[in-house]
Structure 1
Amino acid sequence: MAILCAMQSTFAQSIKVQQVVITGKVINTSTTTPKAIKANFFNPLKHNGLSVKLNDRYEFKVAEEMIFAQTMTVHYADYFIYLYVAPGDSVHLTIDATLLTKKDFSWLKITGDHGTISDQLNKANRYLDQLPYHKYDYSHSPAQLLLDFKEDYQRYLLALKDYAALHQLDPKAVELAASERKYGLANYISDYDNNDKAATIKLFGDAFFGKDDPKNFQSQMFPYYLADYLRRLTGADTTIAAATKAHQFLTAIQKGTKILLKETKGPSRDYMVYKYITSFLSQNPKLVDSIPNLKSYFTDELFYQELKNSALLLRDNTFPITPIKGIQYLDANNNPQSIPETDVFRYLAKRYPNKVIYIDVFATWCVPCRLEFQSTPSLHQSFADKDVVFVNLCLQSDVAAWQKMIKTEAIKGENYYLDNDATKLFMGIYRLDGYPTYILVKKDGKISTTRAPRPSQPALVHKAITQLL
């Protein structure tokens, strides 16, 4: 164990920050060609989805600092393009708009660093995605679910082995495809729960998942697995939940980090400590200045510095004025109306003057989003006679599915829809990680926070809204 810890400490100290640059050009364009892209760098220490509009020549360039050699994605049209990049890499994408209807990635050419590996990874992932989906039985015990998971994962590995032999894949592409599949499947079971908390923690901490191996950061999904594991570790302590409910966030931070610091030293532990503390900073970024000996929590100073940077970023809720088109609004008769190109928050401030605006950013296919809507009626009722407007922004969804969901599930509030290009720009501009996300806007139209409490957190969300009235 001492040797392992020493190896991980050396790895942590060797982490170097370098920029990755992604450029691209869309060729054979038409008036219907999508004009926005979103680059999801998945640097685990940054909220770093970057969105850009294509210029008049349909070219783009995005860049971000990276710390691991890992996978990332570029979202264009309806596709997620996988890239394998290392700090310092430069990659160029050529996209043929006339071939976008083909699902075999024949419309894409990747050149630059690791271009061949990235190309093979996209095709291998597409092949694996076409295999039948196995639904896990959540009535199984944690031990049995782990066996189910391993069996399912083995099924994918056998299929990948055959595909790799047939198409002569680079061993690195095979390794990455296997890693993406493992942690992608782990994300599928992230909502598994069992009364035996200790056994559930043991399931997700099993050596099979390689929790402490820094090499696993090569998968963009690995940090999500670690975040789920830390949630279970800290969630098993009822005193943390009690402290959080009582808004004693510093106490909750200290209790949680005490648990996490028992994990093996290295980048995985550093990341979990970073992730755990930042989850509280959205409530009060100044908390970071109140944690005694904070720097000593980390084996690599980089994680400490990025935690401090995250706190500064959360204090700064200023964003560039960015007109976005592709927005619709449901009128009083539930008929969709198009909105001219506009900056979203300037539009909302003008439409709902002198109102506190609570914004629910969701997608129709997002299960947690739908669950949160069950808590919104009581939240709306709490502020029925107050200067509060509830706005629902539907992103990354089919427009017909949006209209159907609003009608069949009787979702109240002001309902808006952003098309694919608008979604990419909105998520990147406002540094949003996923769904659901909640945003609070002050009466003067300025953003208060992009990390507001959820409707299912009644005490927290009620306090956050009331403070702005």
Structure 2
Amino acid sequence: MKKLLILALAISVFSCKTETKPDYILISGKITNKLPSELSINTQDRSFTEAINVAADGTFKDTLTVENGSYVLYDGKNPIFLHLESGYNLNINYDAKDFQNSLIITGEGAPENNYLAEKLKKTRELLGMNASLYALSEKDYKEKQLAIKDTLTTILNAAKGVSKSFKAQEENELHYNYLGSLNVYERAHGYFTKNTDFKVSDDFLNEFDGFDYSNEADYNASPSYKKIVADHYAVKIKDYIEKDSLTQEEAFFKTARGIESESIRNTFLFDVANQTIVRAKDVEAFYKTFMEISTNEENNSVITEKYNQLTAVVKGKPSPKFVDYENYKGGKTSLDDLKGKFVYIDVWATWCGPCKREIPFLKDLEKKYHDKNIEFVSLSIDKVSDREKWKKMIETENLQGVQVLADNDWKSKFVTDYQIQGIPRFILIDDAGNIVDPNAPRPSDPKLVELFTELNI
């Protein structure tokens, strides 16, 4: 009997060990026909990103130690939305020239991720073009979004092998995605119908009556719920600005202070601050207020690092330099080559719509100041591999000034030194190479000419 008991215990211990999942995720695969210039795994809000090396034959393999949740595998063109959990061992293969029809996902975690791939494909098919979708009447739009939700729910119910926990989480996500679609309708309908005064009917958003904006579990698990919460607080920020005459930053911090959930408050505070501190007029005051409100040490560490970097690129400090950037007219150009003149730098890219909208205004400025003590530099962060696209746009748009191409797009040292996370971005440097304004007004902003006048340019 004693021997049998020992044997049973041994089997029990052995069984527990074999059922224990690893605390990491394996991801591998092969991309055929065209090697990507980059491959990375990212959170959907890009607060986390990690590069994955791709071999010469298109194969890749990596071990990830990330929190369970939603991620995007991105090759620079094709996004693959993934659900990752500890213990997953995913193998992902596709033909870069026929991504939509060639994607194959196998391994542990495949059922959940094949469902997500089918969900994305079906969603795009059902939504159609934005202009047609958002031009629909309130009734037709809501019916279409409900039909999409029902179709995706049917696909989820038919998916074999998905875990119960994933299914429950995805049912929540589909519900919140539907509600989120209602949230954006007013703005989108007004934009696509060119009716900027459009307002939805009083009962259009009645499904939000009694909505709980403090559900921490859903905030962490559902990207759509998180966006609904973010939109909710964005409206509060706007109200504070319009009704209380607060600045954008004052309204943001007042809104953040009013969030009851500490976890949601910290995340919302960090998400916004991480993107906007680079544009703060008073970086020190912004940082001080953030630190007063935030209680998350990890977030505080990230913002502190950004603050320390930003204090190196404030008014009066020597500007970071770009060195030997390719010049459209031939040869190489460095920032030091322009010393002796003020330098107005436009950081842009051929794919950036807001950047292109500034081009006519920039051309007018260049004509007005062509004989003044200032150089206009357009610094493109297009990929070096897109050099021909960059050159073609310069020719097509007859762009003037100094046209240079950054050496490593977003990762170029000049770009990272200035903590540039969004474009267009405009920087003004004086004739001695010192920063006048790291966030200078846009060419379309009359304040830029006022600034030039103050500086006797």
Interval containing the TM-score (normalised by the shorter chain): 0.5 to 0.7
Aligned to 1:213: 215
Flag the structure with higher helix content.
2
Listed as ranges, the gaps of 5+ residues in structure 2 are 1-22, 314-319
Q: 1:160 to 1:42 in 2, by over 3 A?
A: closer
Aligned to 1:11: none
Instruction: Give 1:37 deviation, angstroms.
Output: 1.7
1:390 aligns with 2:382: no
Aligned to 2:84: 85
Q: Tell me the TM-score normalised to structure 2 length.
A: 0.63
Matched position secondary structure for 1:390: strand
Q: Map 1:62-81 to 2 at 5 A.
A: 69-76=68-75, 78-81=77-80
Question: Given the alignment, which residue of 121, 125, 148 partners 2:120?
Answer: 125
1:159 aligns with 2:151: yes
Q: Deviations over 1:292-316 (max 9, x none)?
A: xx55634756555544444335446
Q: Map 1:86-165 to 2 at 5 A.
A: 89=86, 94=91, 96=93, 99-104=95-100, 106-109=102-105, 111=107, 114-131=109-126, 132-133=128-129, 135=131, 150-165=142-157
Q: Map 1:413-424 to 2 at 5 A.
A: 413-415=401-403
Aligned to 2:362: 376
Q: Would you say the 8 A contact 1:100–1:107 is kept in 2?
A: no
Instruction: Give 1:150 deviation, angstroms.
Output: 3.8
Q: d(CA) in 2 for partners of 1:464 and 1:312?
A: 29
Question: Given the alignment, which residue of 211, 219, 238 partners 1:235?
Answer: 238
Q: Map 1:22-421 to 2 at 5 A.
A: 24=28, 26=30, 32-42=34-44, 46=47, 48-51=48-51, 54=54, 69-76=68-75, 78-85=77-84, 89=86, 94=91, 96=93, 99-104=95-100, 106-109=102-105, 111=107, 114-131=109-126, 132-133=128-129, 135=131, 150-168=142-160, 170=162, 172=166, 174-175=170-171, 178=174, 181-182=177-178, 206=208, 211-214=213-216, 215-220=218-223, 226-238=229-241, 244=247, 253-278=249-274, 279-283=276-280, 284-291=282-289, 295=291, 297-298=293-294, 303-315=299-311, 331=329, 348-349=334-335, 356=343, 358-364=345-351, 366-373=352-359, 375-377=361-363, 380=366, 384=370, 385-393=372-380, 395=382, 412-415=400-403
Instruction: Give 1:157 deviation, angstroms.
Output: 0.9
| Structure 1 stretch displaced more, 33-42 or 299-308 | 299-308
Q: 1:33 to 1:378 in 2, by over 3 A?
A: same
Instruction: Give 1:81 deviation, angstroms.
Output: 1.5
Q: d(CA) in 1 for partners of 2:49 and 2:450?
A: 29
Aligned-residue sequence identity (percent) comes to 15
Instruction: Give 1:154 deviation, angstroms.
Output: 1.2
Q: Tell me the TM-score normalised to structure 1 length.
A: 0.61
Q: Deviations over 1:145-178 (max 9, x none)?
A: 6x66543421321221333345447363644873
Q: Would you say the 8 A contact 1:23–1:93 is kept in 2?
A: yes
Q: d(CA) in 1 for partners of 2:389 and 2:226?
A: 31
Matched position secondary structure for 1:36: coil
Asked which structure has the greater CA Rg, the reply is 2
Q: Deviations over 1:115-170 (max 9, x none)?
A: 54233212321221122235378899xxx86x665434213212213333454473
Matched position secondary structure for 2:102: coil
Q: What is the identity, as a one-letter code, of the residue corresponding to 1:218?
A: A
Q: Would you say the 8 A contact 1:179–1:219 is kept in 2?
A: no
Instruction: Give 1:363 deviation, angstroms.
Output: 4.8
Q: d(CA) in 2 for partners of 1:354 and 1:242?
A: 41
Q: What is the identity, as a one-letter code, of the residue corresponding to 2:39?
A: I
| Structure 1 stretch displaced more, 410-419 or 380-389 | 410-419
Q: Deviations over 1:267-315 (max 9, x none)?
A: 4443333445552453343224543xx5563475655554444433544
Q: Deviations over 1:98-128 (max 9, x none)?
A: x32233463444656x454233212321221
Instruction: Give 1:74 deviation, angstroms.
Output: 2.0
Q: d(CA) in 2 for partners of 1:224 and 1:304?
A: 22
Q: What is the identity, as a one-letter code, of the residue corresponding to 1:297?
A: I
Matched position secondary structure for 2:119: helix
Q: Would you say the 8 A contact 1:360–1:438 is kept in 2?
A: yes
Matched position secondary structure for 2:123: helix
Q: d(CA) in 2 for partners of 1:63 and 1:445?
A: 45
Instruction: Give 1:36 deviation, angstroms.
Output: 1.9
Q: Deviations over 1:171-213 (max 9, x none)?
A: 636448737955578668766586699999x969945986443
Question: How many positions carry a matched residue from both structures?
Answer: 408
Instruction: Give 1:237 deviation, angstroms.
Output: 3.6
Q: d(CA) in 2 for partners of 1:23 and 1:434?
A: 28
Listed as ranges, the gaps of 5+ residues in structure 1 are 1-18, 245-251, 332-336, 340-345
Matched position secondary structure for 2:373: coil
Instruction: Give 1:401 deviation, angstroms.
Output: 7.5
Q: d(CA) in 1 for partners of 2:379 and 2:322?
A: 20
Q: d(CA) in 2 for partners of 1:57 and 1:375?
A: 46
Aligned to 1:9: none
Q: What is the identity, as a one-letter code, of the residue corresponding to 2:257?
A: L
